[in-house]
């Protein structure tokens, strides 16, 4: 059977780092098996869904290189949900309930006050046809619940958590349809998974109880449930669930200069027993992807670790990978020279400006100015001008180490540190280099 996974975001906001991790792992699971990765837009909430967010989701996945093999939108599939709903109603697996939110909240408070779990008491099942008719005559439209089968335990073998077992009697019959006819998550998701042939559902551990309910829904609809796996949720570095993680999205990462490959490298391994490494080749990451390496402990997302991985990834990027993002006129040799000194590709702009000049050297003392004047007159252009210049000056002046190199760097770049001068000086050029040395010597 072909492995088919799906990523099912709601277009009510931008993707955040937790969503991105879920999408990535589903993509990797499909890639590892030579299968298909599907995008499902869960846009049944007409009030909160926005077309701009649908486009943003597509753009973010494209930026990450997670290209779906197909896309479905729940808003275009409402007739399928209606048909499944009628089948379940005919089979006695859904029933109308009329309690208001306030009444349900009061019931929960009473149960909690008695030390009982806040499980729906199925009071609506005791209503007669006359009771229901009276409610509706009074203008009370029902919401609809899925009736769980209490006779059999709910079990599945979870890809991360291992054997799972739930007592259906300890779960509330979930509301699947609101009084206004709109859908909640549970039933449409099952219908879509069946219709789209989804074989594997990999999602956060906050969905475990949903899975217990949906296992019975699949069975009630006459379908084999997909394989389920629930990974630990992301937490912040401080070890607590962080609201800030919800604001970390692709747009924020792009603004910071984070490379998609760095984000992929970090999130691919986060929460597993495998080390996070700056691996730029996705085939390597996919090859080592294995649900058996996923742990149960919360996965800690650390901005500093992302920055570290990003810097290492930038240092691996070839000129062809970044040419369209570099400042005008910057060429292959310049990228090669500047790349080891960068944390982000955007930082190349500052160093290219230094190469092109002008630069402002720090104020020098008399001895240093004399040294730089000698350097200007000594400079002879060759295939290795920096090495030749410093070797000659060392022999002539007896300077070495910092005293030999730092004044030259300051005069030529205006900086105390930076890229290898052996590569940088040829970019500056003979005429400009001599000019800078002379300017620093006379300043």
- Mean pLDDT, the chain, rounded, equals 95
pLDDT surpasses 80 at 238: no
Does 266 score more than 70 pLDDT?
yes
Give mean pLDDT, residues 272-277: 97
Count other C-beta atoms under 10 Å from residue 361's C-beta. 21
Q: Give mean pLDDT, residues 246-251.
A: 84
* Domains in the chain, CATH or no CATH each: 4-71+186-233 (3.40.50.620), 80-177 (3.90.800.10), 319-355 (no CATH), 357-442 (1.10.10.350)
DSSP class of residue 13 equals S
Q: What pLDDT does residue 237 have?
A: 76
Percent of the chain scored above 90 by pLDDT?
Answer: 94
Is the pLDDT at 63 greater than 70? The verdict is: yes
Q: What pLDDT sits at residue 58?
A: 97
Kindly report, residue by residue over 121-179, the tens digit of the pLDDT. Answer: 999 999 999 999 999 999 999 999 999 999 989 999 999 999 999 999 999 999 999 99
109 is in an annotated binding site: no
pLDDT value at 183 more than 70? yes
> Measuring CA to CA, which residue among 313, 323, 224, 250 is closest to residue 21?
250
CB atoms near residue 440 (< 10 Å)? 27
CA R_g for the chain: 32
pLDDT value for 244? 73
pLDDT, position 243: 64
pLDDT confidence of residue 241: 58
**pLDDT band of 36, cuts 50, 70, 90:** very high
Q: What is the mean pLDDT of residues 330-350?
A: 97
Residue range 257-273: average pLDDT?
97
pLDDT tens digit string along 291-331? Answer: 999 999 999 999 999 999 999 999 999 999 999 999 999 99
pLDDT of residue 115: 93
pTM (2 decimals)?
Answer: 0.91
pLDDT of residue 242 exceeding 70:
no
Closest CA to 219 of 236, 202, 238, 194: 194
pLDDT bin (cut points 50, 70, 90) of residue 70 is very high
- Best CA proximity match to 186, nearest among 165, 170, 207: 207
Question: How confident is the model over 261-290, as a mean pLDDT?
Answer: 97
Strands 299-300 and 234-235 come out as parallel
Q: What average pLDDT score do residues 102-125 get?
A: 95
* Residues paired with 154 in a beta bridge: 166
Mean pLDDT calculated for residue range 200-220: 97
User: Any idea what DSSP says for residue 170?
Assistant: G
Do residues 347 and 327 make contact, with C-beta atoms less than 8 angstroms apart? no
Residue 240 pLDDT exceeds 70: no
Give one word for 236, left, alpha or beta, with left for phi > 0 and alpha for psi -120 to 50.
beta
């Amino acid at each position: 059977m072909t492995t088919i996974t799906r990523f099912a975001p709601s277009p009510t906001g931008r993707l955040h780092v937790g969503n991105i991790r879920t999408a990535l792992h589903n993509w990797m699971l499909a890639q590892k098996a030579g299968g298909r990765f599907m995008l499902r837009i869960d846009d049944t909430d007409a009030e909160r869904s926005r077309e701009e967010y649908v486009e943003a989701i597509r753009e973010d996945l494209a930026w990450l290189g997670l290209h779906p093999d197909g896309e479905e939108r729940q808003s275009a599939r409402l007739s399928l949900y209606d048909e499944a709903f009628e089948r379940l109603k005919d089979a006695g697996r859904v029933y109308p309930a009329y309690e208001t939110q306030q009444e349900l909240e009061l019931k929960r408070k009473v149960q909690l006050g008695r030390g009982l779990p806040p499980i729906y008491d199925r009071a609506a099942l005791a209503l007669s046809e006359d009771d229901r008719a009276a409610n509706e005559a009074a203008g009370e439209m029902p919401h609809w619940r899925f009736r769980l089968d209490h006779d059999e335990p709910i079990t599945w073998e979870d890809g991360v958590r291992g054997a799972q077992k739930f007592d259906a009697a300890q779960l509330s019959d979930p509301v699947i349809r609101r009084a206004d006819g709109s859908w909640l998550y549970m039933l449409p998701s099952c219908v879509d998974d069946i219709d789209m042939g989804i074989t594997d559902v990999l999602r956060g551990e906050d969905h475990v109880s949903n899975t217990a309910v949906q296992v019975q829904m699949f069975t009630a609809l006459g379908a084999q449930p997909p394989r389920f796996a629930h990974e630990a949720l992301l937490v912040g570095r401080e070890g607590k669930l962080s609201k800030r993680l919800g604001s970390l999205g692709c747009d924020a990462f792009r603004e910071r200069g984070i490379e998609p490959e760095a984000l992929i490298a970090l999130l691919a391994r986060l929460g597993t027993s495998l080390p996070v490494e700056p691996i730029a080749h996705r085939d390597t990451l996919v090859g080592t992807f294995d649900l058996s390496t996923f742990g149960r402990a919360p996965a800690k997302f650390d901005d500093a670790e992302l920055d570290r991985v990003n810097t290492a990834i930038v240092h691996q990027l070839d000129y062809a990978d970044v040419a369209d993002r570099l400042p005008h006129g910057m060429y292959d040799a310049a990228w090669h020279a500047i790349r080891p000194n960068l944390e982000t590709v955007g930082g190349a702009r500052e160093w290219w400006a230094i190469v092109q000049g002008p630069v402002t050297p720090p104020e020098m003392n008399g001895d240093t100015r004399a040294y730089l004047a000698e350097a200007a007159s000594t400079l002879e252009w060759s295939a290795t001008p920096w090495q030749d210049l410093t070797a000659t000056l060392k022999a002539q002046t007896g300077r070495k180490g910092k005293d030999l190199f730092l004044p030259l760097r300051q005069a030529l770049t205006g900086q105390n540190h930076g890229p290898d001068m052996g590569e940088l000086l040829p970019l500056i050029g003979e005429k400009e280099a001599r000019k800078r040395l002379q300017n620093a010597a006379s300043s």
